[in-house]
Amino acid sequence: MALPVVKGAAYILVHTPDMIMHYGTTCSLEHETNPESEFMKKFPGLVRSYEETVKYAPNQAYIGAILPDSLSTIERPWHKNLIQDARPEGKMGEIIEQDELYAAIKISDAFDLVTLEKEFLAEIKAKLSKKPLYTEAELAKLKEGAEGSEIENRVKAGAEPLLKGNRLVGCIKAAHDKDKNLTAHIMVENLVVKASGVMALKNLIYRNNIPADSIEYIIECSEEACGDMNQRGGGNFAKAIAEVAGAVNATGSDLRGFCAAPSHALINAAALVEAGVYKSVAIVAGGATAKLGMNSRDHVNKGLPVLEDCLGGFAILVTENDLVSPVLRTDAVGRHTVGTGSSPQAVMESLITKPLDKVGMKITDIDKYSVEMQNPEITEPAGAGDVPLANLKMIAALGAKRGDIDRTEMPEFIKEHGMPGFAPTQGHIPSGVPFVGAARDMIISGDIKRAMIVGKGSLFLGRMTNQFDGVSIIMEKNTGQEETTGAVSKEEVKGMVAEAMKDFASFLLSGKQG
């Protein structure tokens, strides 16, 4: 069995200022039920520009332009202390404008549900032709577009609008006239997940110089579910994304677990590679339109900008051992079981200390913990506090209780072994995996030796159970040697076969056979 490693990671943010009001649950419900509210009146003046979004420090950390620890050196509030020389592209990804998302939605449209306006289409084609992520064949899928009057008529007939400011530049129609699971609104949600997932996977392939046809399996782990009236959550986003991104040799499936799904997916990918089922597995997630502006009522009421203005996406590739990339320790997986209980201490013990005890490590042996990396500038005004800091305090308390650190060392432990939150509140996006790319680079460079990726989720949101959820896995420095996990290596197998053949030949030549 081959050791699984993290071969590469990519992260994208899509700035969607004109989708917040129409497709974000908080804002769309307010618009329907109380359109004259103070919130509705103040909202337009507090939506950020693309330039402001690019210069926002947590966004720069998310795409790998700066390390998460760098946020500690930037004075808060970050929305007022922008990085003036920031660029939309980082080492691990990019911050994408809304018009490019519209084009990616059209490219991802397999059933002619999306219509874009002629002039807008000409503008975006010219823009995308300069980007290496898109091929001529993909741009040809954009076609010629329609007249504005035709799009207006479709919206009047029930199609959902695609806006650029006050300009109607496109629409998405329902996929069925009676199926409630294929309404225009749900098709927007699904096509956005698919398109942003495609952009994340394309970034992974391009920025890590990975042949698209080398990927054998894809696990899609966002929070949406596509299907029709007969199988509401049937899927398969994974294979749909693979098709558009050019991963022609891949198959795949969707994995769901609310916020914890990406960490579940990472562990599943590692297990598939270690078992030899697939040599190369990508985990991919697109963004959730419903989460746009989710806490905006609290932000706007406090005079803050609308900070939840971006869709998030990511893609991570797990492969067989390349002798360089960090190893995923499948022998040290933490898991919140049905019998664990929901107290904070029980949760953290199941996810942190139990897997460490299994492999004889102390809490201090993990250099960085990545647990629910929500940007505190988003969560604090909404009354949820600083989520990453709260998790690190609990881990430090467990360390003190176990005797791994002294109680007086807890503040320093939190500073050294944690990091400020930097991920958008897109549900599944913040849960552990935003740090995988940075952790990979830091481990390879020797800055750290180990990181623990922790995903936590709230299963009660589906009204099927009151259970909590969570899993964790350790990323560790590669020894650079052909190691195996509980089995002989390929070279050892070859040697054993050669030795057996030699012995058998000697036996035949001895003349002692029956």
Q: Is residue 163 part of a domain?
A: no
Q: Which domain holds residue 290?
A: 4-113+174-476
- Chain mean position to CA 502: 52
Q: Residue 502: left (phi > 0), alpha (psi -120 to 50), or beta? A: alpha
Average pLDDT in the 210-230 region? 97
Q: What is the DSSP string of 41-74?
A: HHGGGGPPPHHHHHH-HHHHHHTTSS-GGGGGGS
pLDDT of residue 356: 98
Q: At what angle do helices 98-107 and 118-128 cross, to 10 degrees?
A: 100
Please give the Cα distance from 365 to 31 (Å, whole number).
Answer: 50
Structural domain count, the chain: 1
* CATH number of the domain encompassing residue 274: 3.40.47
Query: Does residue 159 register a pLDDT over 50?
Result: yes
DSSP letter assigned to residue 338: T
pLDDT tens digits along 252-296: 999 999 999 999 999 999 999 999 999 999 999 999 999 999 999
When pLDDT is averaged across residues 481-503 and rounded to a whole number, the result is 60
| Residue 498 pLDDT exceeds 70 | no
In this prediction, residue 485 carries a pLDDT of 47
Q: Given 3-state DSSP classes, what are the helix, strand and coil percentages for the chain, each rounded to the nearest 5?
A: 45, 20, 35
The span from the CA of 78 to the CA of 58, in Å, is 8
In this predicted model, what pLDDT tens digit does every residue of 61-77 receive, in sequence order?
999 999 999 999 999 99
Read off the pLDDT of residues 230-250 as tens digits, 9 standing for 90 and up: 999 999 999 999 999 999 999
The gap from C-alpha 435 to its chain's centroid, in whole angstroms, comes to: 10
Please give the single-letter amino acid code of residue 33.
T
Alpha-carbon gap, residue 470 to 482, rounded angstroms? 31
| pLDDT for 496 | 60
**Would residue 130 count as lying in a domain?**
no
Residue 62 CB partners (closer than 8 Å, separation 6+)? 11, 13, 93, 312, 422, 423, 424, 434
Specify the pLDDT at position 109: 97
Q: What percent of the chain has a predicted confidence (pLDDT) above 70? A: 94
Is residue 414 assigned to a domain? Answer: yes
How buried is residue 473: exposed, middle or buried, by Cβ count under 10 Å (0-12/13-18/19+)? buried
Question: Is 499 part of any domain?
Answer: no
**Mean pLDDT, range 129-140, rounded to an integer:** 92
pLDDT at 219 over 50: yes
The answer to whether residue 126 sits within a structural domain is no
Q: Does residue 149 belong to any structural domain of this protein?
A: no
Q: How confident is the model at residue 494 (pLDDT cuts 50, 70, 90)?
A: low
- Per-residue pLDDT band for 2 (boundaries 50, 70, 90) equals confident
Between CA 48 and CA 185 the distance in angstroms is 24
> Which tens digits make up the pLDDT trace of 378-408?
999 999 999 999 999 999 999 999 999 999 9
Whether pLDDT at 316 is above 60: yes
Q: Give pLDDT, residue 342.
A: 87
Residue 511 has pLDDT above 60, yes or no: no
Asked whether residue 455 carries a pLDDT value surpassing 80, the answer given is yes
- Going from the C-alpha of 409 to that of each of 369, 416, 417, the distances in angstroms are 17, 11, 12
Residue 282 lies in a domain: yes
Distance of CA 308 to the CA centre of its chain: 16
Residue 271, SS3 per DSSP = helix
Instruction: Read off the pLDDT of residues 427-436 as tens digits, 9 standing for 90 and up.
Output: 999 989 999 9
| 310 vs 292: CA distance, rounded Å | 7
Task: For Cα atoms 272, 276, 280, give the angle at the middle one, nearest 5 degrees.
Answer: 65
Does 222 have pLDDT greater than 50? yes
* pLDDT number for residue 514: 44
What is the share, in percent, of the chain residues with pLDDT greater than 90? 91
Q: Is the pLDDT of residue 352 over 50?
A: yes
Q: How confident is the model over 188-211, as pLDDT tens digits?
A: 999 999 999 999 999 999 999 999
Q: Are 69 and 392 in contact (CB under 8 A)?
A: no
Pairwise CA distance, residues 450 & 440, whole Å: 9
13 in Cβ contact with 311 (< 8 Å): yes
| pLDDT tens column, 457-490 | 999 999 999 998 999 999 999 999 876 544 455 5
Q: Does residue 144 belong to any structural domain of this protein?
A: no
Closest among 448, 470, 439 to 370, alpha carbons compared? 439
CB of 188 closer than 8 Å to CB of 160: yes
Contact 113, 173 (CB under 8 A): yes
Q: Is the dihedral of CA 475, 478, 479, 484 positive or negative?
A: positive
Does residue 326 have a pLDDT over 70?
Answer: yes
Q: How much is the average pLDDT of 164-189?
A: 97
Q: What's the alpha-carbon Rg for the chain, to the nearest Å?
A: 25
**0.85 exceeded by pTM:** yes
**The amino acid at 63:** I
Q: Work out the average pLDDT over 20-38.
A: 96
Token duo for residue 478:
């590669």
